[in-house]
Structure 1
């Protein structure tokens, strides 16, 4: 993994960490299970294609009871009357294709379809890594947001009680009292809203993993961020075009469509089969007397030459050719999208790094500002509103700093996913830097 996180020392994750939810998601996520069943089903495609080149054996048996009634006959040897007799017939035939161009191409197409299925399944597994990480860090961000609002609410409530006491003693103006009360009601509403957002984030993680979670491990505060390696969006783009699983799947899809065009063109060519047939008919009588037992062995070469099918073959070839062009355009569109995704994610990593560095200093500065505003309020230099604004800005900075750290991880995961490098080992690497708060 090229995700570079530098810590003073690795920490051991405890409780409901990233790997905990990912492990459950691998057996719970509906999209992955659907993809797995589709992948298993695709294993039969090649067997079905080969079956059209193998011998086809069929057996036939029949027993007939016949009643013949002679009403009249010019032959004086056969009198009028009714005759009953059984007939037993058996046959076994074997048909072996000698030349069937469409079936031969069908095998080649089936092999390409297997590669397509493998790429799609691998892409879905890689998506699960990204989805679990995204959902998990969304929970951490919502949890941090909620805890921050609760801390702000506690600080504002404490300040409100202080202002209220001073107001009751006539030491603070009514504006300070009303400002403190309004701010307390506002932040209480923010606490409720943030709690709902946290619940929604937990539900999103549950949808993927089947686990609700209560005690989430958080990123270590000692985390230091580093630039992606290689330090060039062009290098990442080159990797993505060569390794991105969705791009690879679409390339295989183009190859499958091309094989389908060739397969349908084969309907213009003759089909040659070799047929061996053994039959036995045993008739124990006839209307005119006497029975027979006939055994027959036949070796037949069949040549079927399509001459005209009402234009159906040409129409299907034209249809498949158009679908092939559509697949190529879809591939081109996907490559452009991947290039954009790589660039956006790469710049997102750098942006998250810059924000985190700046916000870390902002948090320290805002903490000092709060202390200064409180001292100024105690000495009568600052108003109550100035103190609460400082408290709000301090908690905003803490929330934004935590969010920037989470965003760095997610943007780096997106970058690696776009480049086709993301795997569950990346989760293991990040997981060692999670700890219980």
Structure 2
């Protein structure tokens, strides 16, 4: 019995001790790699830059426009080109009148006959002049046009709608970066959790393997019953299956993180055991709901979207209004060849256009804009409800996680005491090997449950801050300070392209996107709520003039 007692004591220590991973990466490095290589984040940035161009397009409709057109053509035609003397034609008309005054004996005088001959020559001249012949010439035309809208209500409201849409796009981009922060943390800590689960599973398997080998040897010499061996064998087989499953889950977690960072070799630094596990600060859920109403980025984007759609309704209605444009045109037309002429013209004026009827298109587009506005308002209400629901949900879960960590710490101590008592009972012959293995399995499960609760606390706290619009790269810096990193020096927050009020990952923004975030004070292990503490202390200071 003494040999078995020593074996279980050594295995107990082996089962609950985790060695740190050497040369591991850290959370900030993971986030920076995700910023550089995550295709989902890259697509969000490209989508924002695409939306940003709509503002320039809307402004362009209010600016002057100019166009230059040049045309050249070669013309071949048949045309009369002769000239006729009009004086003989006048005399000929008189002569024809004289012919009408013939005498009754139908005789013509000599002077009238000479006049008729002259008329015949004139007719021949006309015939020759009207004869068609081939004519070829080139035509070159230059036209320069410029226009400046003077009164275009629809253009002005479309520009206002584009600015509101840009604000919505900025809020969506900031939300996408919060999502990147969230996915980076979740992926990293999922690797850590599955890594610890795998170590625990391997430790339990090794413990059972050594115990099974020893029990088989004792069974061979008749010191144990066969049921002890079979039950230990069954426990070992279950532990082996657990190792296979844990290895698969760990590999999948690493692949998910690698898909985001672009790095196939994923190594993570484990968390120390003394991280601060605190309830939300402030602890009142109503305060967090107020933060969500003001700072939730999805809700903020939906508000800007409502304003943009409201402006579009006005823009479509304004298409019924008259439009006034200032226009100028310079044109030059030049002929060369058989016909050589040149003309120039300059035109400056104001044009007024009054829409009367466009087949019902304008009215239909206005109705469509109203339906889009209704959709945007419904989406805003949905975003508000989701923000409040998520805030309440994660506020409750964080408090539950804090209680779960405390309870599972106690469960580990209780399981350890039960394990020691069970070993003592086995040594005294009142407990079986099966009883000892069962309590040991509970101890492993308690350790695994504690690991899960600690990581759930971290992830749920980040989700709570995201739902309130307070999540920022400073939170990753706080988490990174918890890690026992033996790798390279951590990257500073300024190098991360963190969430600020005027820039996201190198993309310039307007100052309308507001994000909570205060640098936490340095301590051994900073709390995820240190930012709130510093922010609250700043609010408590007396204002100037009070």
TM-score, shorter chain, exceeding 0.5:
yes
* Aligned residues of 1:366 and 1:390 also touching (Cα < 8 A): yes
* Aligned residues of 1:16 and 1:213 also touching (Cα < 8 A): no
* Aligned residues of 1:163 and 1:384 also touching (Cα < 8 A): no
Larger Rg: 2
Match of 1:4 in 2: none
Match of 1:372 in 2: 421
Match of 1:323 in 2: 372
Match of 1:239 in 2: 291
* Aligned residues of 2:80 and 2:130 also touching (Cα < 8 A): no
Where structure 1 has 5 or more consecutive residues not aligned to the other structure, the ranges are 1-12
Distance 1:69 1:210, change over 3 A: same
Query: Does 2:440 align with 1:391?
Result: yes
Q: Count residues in correspondence.
A: 422
Query: 1:76 Cα shift?
Result: 5.4
Query: Does 2:473 align with 1:424?
Result: yes
Query: 1:318 Cα shift?
Result: 0.9
* Aligned residues of 1:217 and 1:434 also touching (Cα < 8 A): yes
Query: Does 2:146 align with 1:94?
Result: yes
Query: Does 2:335 align with 1:280?
Result: no
Match of 1:10 in 2: none
Match of 2:401 in 1: 352
**TM-score, normalization by structure 2:** 0.74
Query: 1:403 Cα shift?
Result: 1.0
> Runs of 4 or more off by more than 6 Å in structure 1?
none
Query: 1:156 Cα shift?
Result: 1.7
Distance 2:423 2:485 in 1: 32
**TM-score, normalization by structure 1:** 0.92
Query: Does 2:263 align with 1:211?
Result: yes
Query: 1:183 Cα shift?
Result: 0.9
Of residues 407, 412, 415 in structure 1, which corresponds to 2:456? Answer: 407
Distance 1:57 1:248 in 2: 39
Query: 1:365 Cα shift?
Result: 2.1
Of residues 339, 355, 359 in structure 1, which corresponds to 2:388? Answer: 339
* Aligned residues of 1:285 and 1:291 also touching (Cα < 8 A): yes
Match of 1:21 in 2: 30
Q: Deviations over 1:119-141 (max 9, x none)?
A: 11111111110111111111111
Match of 1:3 in 2: none
Query: Does 2:207 align with 1:155?
Result: yes
Query: 1:77 Cα shift?
Result: 4.2
Q: CA RMSD in A?
A: 2.0
Query: Does 2:411 align with 1:362?
Result: yes
Match of 1:198 in 2: 250
Query: Does 2:41 align with 1:32?
Result: yes
Query: 1:148 Cα shift?
Result: 1.0
Tell me, what secondary structure is at the counterpart of 1:220?
coil
* Aligned residues of 1:21 and 1:211 also touching (Cα < 8 A): no
Distance 1:273 1:385, change over 3 A: same
Of residues 115, 127, 137 in structure 1, which corresponds to 2:189? Answer: 137
Tell me, what secondary structure is at the counterpart of 2:56?
helix
